[in-house]
Structures are given as structure tokens and as C-alpha cells.
Amino acid sequence: MAARRFSPLFFRSLSAPSSSFLTRSSGKNGFSGRNSKGFATTAAAVEEIINPPVQVSYTQHLINGNFVDSASGKTFPTLDPRTGEVIAHVAEGDAEDIDRAVKAARKAFDEGPWPKMPAYERSRILLRFADLVEKNSEELAILETWDNGKPYEQSSKSEIPMLARLFRYYAGWADKIHGLTVPADGNYHVQTLHEPIGVAGQIIPWNFPLLMFAWKVGPALACGNTLVLKTAEQTPLTALYAGKLFHEAGLPDGVLNIVSGYGPEAGAPLASHMDVDKLAFTGSTETGKVVLELAAKSNLKPVTLELGGKSPFIVCEDADIDKAVELAHFALFFNQGQCCCAGSRTYVHERVYDEFVEKAKARALRRAVGDPFKKGIEQGPQVDSEQFEKVMRYIRSGLESDAVLECGGERIGNKGYFIQPTVFSNVKEDMLIARDEIFGPVQSILKFKDLDEVIQRANNTRYGLAAGVFTRSLETANRMTRALRAGTVWVNCFDVFDAAIPFGGYKMSGIGREKGIYSLHNYLQVKAVVAPLKNPAWI
């Protein structure tokens, strides 16, 4: 990317308090710092948009080591969620582009050096990529925020460092993948070989574009596979930039291929391609079903799915309420609520329920919403108009079902996709806002009486991705962690995503695990080698 560094003016805009979104007043703009409903936002404030000082240079597909146009010549716009305006036009992939990418990956696997390369050399390339991530962290963070809408401070201080950390973690695994010597009856020497599975197709979502890139690409490359990755059409820019950095790091041509496009035109051909040996998908449960069916109907390729969630966050009677409110707020509102494991069902014990609701409302009213490039902003816009409208429909559903709207529920400004932090109380189990994955800044607070009841209610869902428990009792924590049917249970914390911690779901939240040692299993074949021993050494 031909990108210039931040100007001093841009740094001033990030470091100086924003009168539009914080609680201080500004006579210059006429903002009081809080709107008529008490929010630390104003409708006019979201009109003050910072122009990111970078140029978008990588918008084509990456196929066989080259950036190329779509076979059809088509492009599609990727939009700035702060304004709805076009950032850049990106090559729009279809079945022909997917086929070109798969052929490149197949040739690189069958004939190229990557699977045959000493594992230590693969590790060194992954480490060089991590170094380049850190060297280019500013551009990556800007693009991630610009294309997705998440706060720049989140991108730059949390997600880009984690991106580098993940690839260093997988680099460490590359030369530690080995089989076993297996004892067997009779005079036989038996060993197992753990071999790369081949060409892996990967489809990543828009809510964490770079981190999901790492979760998929890291273990697949460490194991010696070649890849075709389809970006989310909402957020293609950072994966393409990362592909450029991988080739700077020395990745051979054809090992990592990246195609941008829509699900039906590009995702479906990748899922159903006969020469793809493995498929990994992160997205909604509904789309995951389609992906799984396409994979099964083609060549029965194994599929890893990380899908939706409706995670319970359980506040027990003995909880420190102030700390529980803050953690529950983070568990739901982080990343604009666009998190598959968001603690979107907040269960609170009846004896502390009223106090919790009042404090949760007050915390939501203090949440700073606005241009994600401004310092101190906690919440940016939703990713696009479709997601914005979906969240607003669920808010209307909550109102129609007689849940109590404690605060929020409205759009902020007249451009872009900003939504007020929204809190509902008096939420019942049969309401849509308590059953469906909203994927937005909408907190639903439910009341419970005892542990048996809340365990049953928490598990009464088609999802099982994650759960949170807030308690001072070790006995309660132990009981809850064993009783809750979820792939991750956080106790007195939430959204802890270390590179070594496996992540995945029960039930309709997915198949398989990502991160940690478990992620390697997704990209390896196990081969048993059996040979007779005519003259065993011990005879």
C-alpha cells in the first residue's frame, strides 16, 4: 500500500478530547455533550468525520502471487460505515475467479515447495509476516477501522498486536507437528504421520476481519497447506493488504490466494469446489447450514464451522454489582455488539435485579459513540445498512413485546449507521430479543430466582458458543462451568482470547475448534503406516 503517515493534524484530532462525544460542552459547535435522552452523543456529532490519511492500493484478487482483476471485470464498492460513502471499488469474484485461485493453490500444493519445505523454514516465513504486521501496524489499523467501523484504539492497541501474536504462536507450532509410534499386536512397526490436508477453502466474516484471517490462515499455513480465502464483501481491504505482506515475507506464489466477492457468486463455488480438500467458515448459523450442504454434496470435504451465539451472562446474588455491571456492559457492547459470543442474555438474580438495571442503564448512557477515529470513542457505527436495519427491527420487536426500554433504541445522526446503546429490562424468554442473535448494541436483562432455574434457561437455546458467570463463590463457579453447555465459559471475565485458548461452540454454534492446538487438527490428515518386522530386535 502506498500510504502516507499520519499528519500532525490527525494526531491532534485523536489525542484531543472530542467535545461532540464526551461530556464536556462546546460553545463553538453548540453541543451540550449529551442529547435529550442523556447520551454522551449528539445527532450532529456524527457529522464530524475524520478523513483517514491513507490510500487504498490493494483492491484486486490475489491469485498465484499476483494482484489481478476479476475475470468478469466487475467490481463492487466497499463502504465507510461512518458515512455510507464509497472507500474503494474492489474486484468482484465469481466461480471463474474461485476456480483460478483453486488451481493456483492445487499446483502450489502438488508441485510447489511449501508442503515439502522444512517446517522450520515455514516457521521463519510466518515470523517474518508477524514482523511486517508490526512494521505496518498503522496502515492496518486505519484500514480495519475505516472499512469496519470499530474504534481505532481497539484496532491499533488490541487487534493488530493480537494479529502478530497469533502468527507467532502458529509459527511456533510449524516444526512441532509430528506423529506417533503405535504399539500393535503381532510383529509390526506402526507409526502415524500427520500430513497437510491439501487445498483449504476459507470464508471469513466482517466483524473481526484481521483476527479471523489469523484464526484461519495461521494454522493452515503452519501445517503446510495451501489456501483460497474469500473475504467478507463488507470488509475486504485488510486481508488483501495482509496478502501483500505475506509475499514480502517470502511466501511462495499460489500458497495464499484471496478472492473478494459475495456469498452466492464466490462463497458457494468455493464451498462446492471439487478440488478443495477442506473448508472453514465463520458466519451466521443459517449460512453455515448452506456451506455444510454444499461441501457435502460436492466431495464430502471436512468442514469447520464457527457460527452464531446467544450467550448468557449470569450475575449471581453474591456479585459485586458495580463490577458486574461494567463486565456485562463490555460483554455485550464490545465491537458495537457485533460479536458472535456477545453476552446478549444478561441474567441477573432477582435480589439484585433492580439495582443492576439502574446501573446498567447509567453505564449505557455514558457510553461514548461517534467517529471511531476519535480518541475516547467506545462505539462506532454498525458495519453497513443491512446490519443497521436488522438491529433496528429487533429494537422495534422488543418494544412491541412489552420489554421495558430503559435507554437508547434510536439512530444517531442522519448518515452512517450509528445506533444508541440500548438496554431492555423485563425481558422474557419467549421474546425475539431474548432468542435471536441481534449482533448489535442491544442489552436484554432477564431476572432469575436460583441456580437450577438459570442453568435450565441458559441452556434452553439452539446456540452454545459461550457463557459468562459472575460470582464470588468458587462452588457456584465450579457448578456453573460444568452445567453450562457452551464451548467457552468465562468466570468473572469475558472475551479473553489468548492465542492458545480454543474457541468454538456446542449445538448450532458450530463444528470444531479454532485457536490453540485444536486448530491444527482441522488442517491435518492422519496416515497410519504399518510394516512387518521379520526379525524383531528383541528376539
Q: Which residues are catalytic?
A: 306, 340
Among all chains, which residue has been given the C-alpha cell 530386535? 537
| Residue 225: all three cell numbers together | 497447506
In this structure, are residues 435 and 458 in contact, taking their beta carbons and an 8 Å threshold?
no
Helix boundaries (H) for 249-338? 268-272, 285-298, 321-333
Q: What is the spatial distance between Cα 223 and Cα 108, in angstroms, rounded to a whole number?
A: 14
| Residue 239: all three cell numbers together | 486481508
Q: What is the spatial distance between Cα 77 and Cα 467, in angstroms, rounded to a whole number?
A: 37
CA geometry: angle at 321 spanning 315 and 325, to 5°?
Answer: 75
Residue 118: burial class (beta carbons within 10 Å; 0-12, 13-18, 19+): exposed
Helix boundaries (H) for 436-537? 451-459, 474-483, 516-521
In this structure, are residues 174 and 133 in contact, taking their beta carbons and an 8 Å threshold?
no
Q: What is the spatial distance between Cα 418 and Cα 470, in angstroms, rounded to a whole number?
A: 30
Q: Which residues pair with 304 in a beta bridge?
A: 280
SS3 (DSSP) at 518: helix
Spatial CA neighbour of 453 closest among 347, 310, 324:
347
SS (H, E, C) 207-247: CCHHHHHHHHHHHHHHCCCEEEEECCCCCCHHHHHHHHHHH
Spatial CA neighbour of 501 closest among 198, 189, 166:
166
Residue type at position 224: G
* Cα separation values, 101 from 60, 215, 266, Å: 13, 20, 11
Q: What is the spatial distance between Cα 277 and Cα 360, in angstroms, rounded to a whole number?
A: 48
* Cα separation values, 391 from 300, 365, 395, 439, 497, Å: 36, 18, 6, 7, 26
